[in-house]
A and B are shown apart, each in its own frame.
Chain A
Amino acid sequence: MFTIVKREEMANGTVVLNEIEAPLIAKKAKPGQFVILKATETGERIPLTMADTDPQKGTVTIIYMVVGKSTALFKSLKVGDGYLDVIGPLGKPTHLENVGNVVCVGGGTGVAVLHPITRGLKQVGNNVISIIGARNKGLLILEEQMKAASHKLYVCTDDGSYGHHGFVTDVLKDVLTKNDIKLVVGIGPVPMMKFVCKMTKDFNVKTLVSLNPIMIDGTGMCGGCRVSIGGKTQFACVDGPEFDGHQVDFDELMLRLQAYTEDEKASHDEYCNLKKEKA
């Protein structure tokens, strides 16, 4: 078992942080890589990009949004409980290089994945401007951490309840116009990444995105995570999860993420009913 040593709820309980004992993975993991977690014998294998690792302590941290049965089950785990299976580190690490001015754009729980990459880009000498956003103030995560990992941080909310009133792309446009930006990293909901890439393409700025399609093994065996990159099929688990955002077919990815929507809902409903009955 992989024991949970720390647990935090964020964004009004819709997002959960777990720090998990996994010394072998913690020793090897680099920013941008992911793990696959399975809570119970009957559980699903869920891929999540790591939000942090501590090689000394031997732990990895994941931050996830509660969206269906599997994440609801994850949320029910307390400190001292554990995951039955944690596999990793999987995928290619982010290529961290000093290119000058970079912008890190994060939305929703994508900010959790963006944080170690932002920190890494700053560590290798880049001037890092970050833009993070959420639907409203309550759903915003890791603001302090992102501030520390960047030279400058902009915050946006869709409803204007905090920071800039509007989307991350509004601020991004302004930043791209006023600065000589060499690289943009955009991680968040697929529509956000799509629009970030649309904009950076107009400015002709290289853009990296991190994709999280449906996956089973995470080792290139099943092809469930295939994405179209520049018209060619690639596997997010071994060829990614990071790709050149200007080459990604986001519309196809959005459709493919809907493959099991009905099953997922049925499964989640059943889980919630069972929980209610028990209570």
Chain B
Amino acid sequence: MAETTEKKEKIPRQPMPEQAAKVRAKNFEEVPTGYSPEVAMIEAKRCLQCKKPACVDGCPVGVDIPGFIGHIRDGKFEQAISLIWKRNGLPAVCGRVCPQELQCEGQCIIGKKGEPVAIGNLERFAADFARKSGECELPVKAEPTGKKVAVVGSGPSGLTVAGDLALKGHEVTIFEAFHKPGGVLVYGIPEFRLPKEIVFAEVEGLENLGVKLECNAVVGRTVSLDELFEQGYDAIFLGVGAGLPTFLNIPGENLIGILSANEYLTRSNLMKAYLFPKYDTPVVRGKNVITLGAGNVAMDAARTALRLGAQSSRIVYRRSRQEVPARGAEVHHAEEEGVEFHFLTSPVEFKGNEKGRVTGMVGLKMELGEPDSSGRRRPVAIKGSEFELECDLAIIAVGAGANPLLTQSTKELELNKWGYIVADEATGKTSKKGVWAGGDIVTGSATVILAMGAGRQAADSIHDYLTRGW
């Protein structure tokens, strides 16, 4: 036994092939190009096939990780994807955007001494293989129950709920406010990190399972929750996301050329402004771009700016490198592509010209003081350290809040002080009978996989309700 372990450790973690930084910073094609079958099988051999796999505990949706990796090792790719699908309906997405280092890979036993098994890369490989070959069985659907479920929002939580409940035999309709499904996967995450074709393929998979999709339906405006119940829906899941941009509230913020990350990314991703004028929606193309904030969204925005022709793309963050909330891989990719980081800098004011366009940002240098409520050291301004950074585009990526559009029009929904929906942690049940909620509209901005985990729990609880009662 010890011998085999030693042999396995000799295989190094297989690197993910990528487009070269200089090349990819000028195009919107995906950065990592994916494992070949041969490389995937080599990487799969590194898995110890633990009897009590810690990686599975680290996965919010409980994918049988050693199981599917074993199938890849044996070259049985169809079986690998079938096994993943039992727990995860969006593997091509999760393989790309999950923070594996904090979840499955963070728990991997061989990661204690060396590098963990590349679980995310292998999941992506299996999903891409299935999509490209078309050779895989659809999961088996239960007998129709005659129950109808409305899912509001087609982001990660909504898609998970829809998939789970369709498999259990319920009739599911997804209502999406935008003209295309996918939520943040489509309007927020750029093409070079998650090609839209992949999201649409996953949605198509759900439609093949019988899930209906109603785009252009703004629940709360076009139709209310009570009207959905009147139309015969037995249960409703709310997965509307945290779609309210936070601004800085500093002077000059309404100058032309200052956009929320939501607007900047929606224009580029959903509306395909990067293909303007072939697509009709334009976006400000800055030469000197500043992005405020250092989360994953900020990295997406700063990297998009490079691809849209920026000569300089700078991240301005008021804390230090240590506190950066973005994934290490995203920061690494951004730096490789030429994004510059200005740490310990806080925006004070934007300057503009007579046409109302932004020309610069006044920043203030900060130093780290005592830890604040988040446990991170609080940045404190250094008096008299003001300086100006030139820019013709500034993107505000300092987080999102709860969008009140739906919650305001539904009085019985209990909200917390930030406007997020109060939902039971284990089941997702809200204060309104027959209504569940999950994802960012409950937790505030989080990750795709956490939203999917919440969707999974809610789906189980909804199924319980539809078969046994509230």
Contact = CB atoms under 8 A, between A and B. Distances in A.
Contacts of A270: 277
A43 B405 contact: no
B313 interface: no
Contact of B216 (A70, A87, A238): A87
A70 to B, nearest CB: 6
Contact of B262 (A25, A84, A222): A222
B380 interface: no
A45 B37 CA distance: 42
B262 A221 contact: yes
Contacts, number: 113
Interface of B: 177-179, 187, 215-218, 221-223, 243-245, 247, 249, 253-254, 256-257, 259-260, 262-263, 266-267, 271-272, 276-282, 284, 355-356, 403-405
The listed residue with most A CB atoms (<10 A of its CB), out of B216, B249, B272, B281, is: B216
Contacts of A99: none
A258 interface: yes
B355 A44 contact: no
A219 B222 contact: no
Contact of B280 (A69, A84, A86): A69
Contacts of B281: 44-45, 216
A255 B256 contact: yes
Contact of A88 (B221, B266, B278, B284): B221
Given A69-B280, A221-B244, A222-B245, A86 B216 contact: yes
A133 B91 CA distance: 59
Interface of A: 24-25, 28, 38, 42-45, 69-70, 73, 84-90, 216-217, 219-224, 226, 228, 233, 238, 252, 255-256, 258-260, 263-264, 266-267, 270
B280 A220 contact: no
Q: Which 8 A-B pairs have the closest CB atoms?
A: A255-B356, A263-B282, A222-B263, A221-B243, A85-B179, A44-B280, A223-B260, A223-B245
Contacts of B259: 223-224
A256 B263 CA distance: 14
Nearest to B241: A221
Contacts of A258: 256, 355-356
A146 to B, nearest CB: 28
A45 B270 CA distance: 11
A223 B263 contact: yes
Contact of A256 (B179, B266, B356, B404): B356
A138 to B, nearest CB: 29
Contact of B266 (A43, A89, A222): A222
B245 A45 contact: no
Contacts of A228: 254
A217 B176 CA distance: 12
A252 B405 contact: no
14 contacts: A28-B221, A28-B223, A44-B271, A85-B179, A86-B216, A220-B243, A223-B260, A224-B263, A226-B247, A233-B249, A255-B355, A258-B256, A258-B356, A259-B256
Contacts of B266: 216-217, 221-222
A219 B356 contact: no
A44 B284 CA distance: 15
A238 B405 contact: yes
B179 A90 contact: no
A191 to B, nearest CB: 15
Contacts of B272: 42
A219 B282 contact: no
Contacts of A216: 263, 266-267, 271, 281
Contact of B177 (A84, A217, A224): A217
Contacts of A222: 245, 260, 262-263, 266
A274 B249 CA distance: 44
A228 B247 CA distance: 13
B282 A260 contact: yes
A88 B266 CA distance: 19
B343 to A, nearest CB: 26
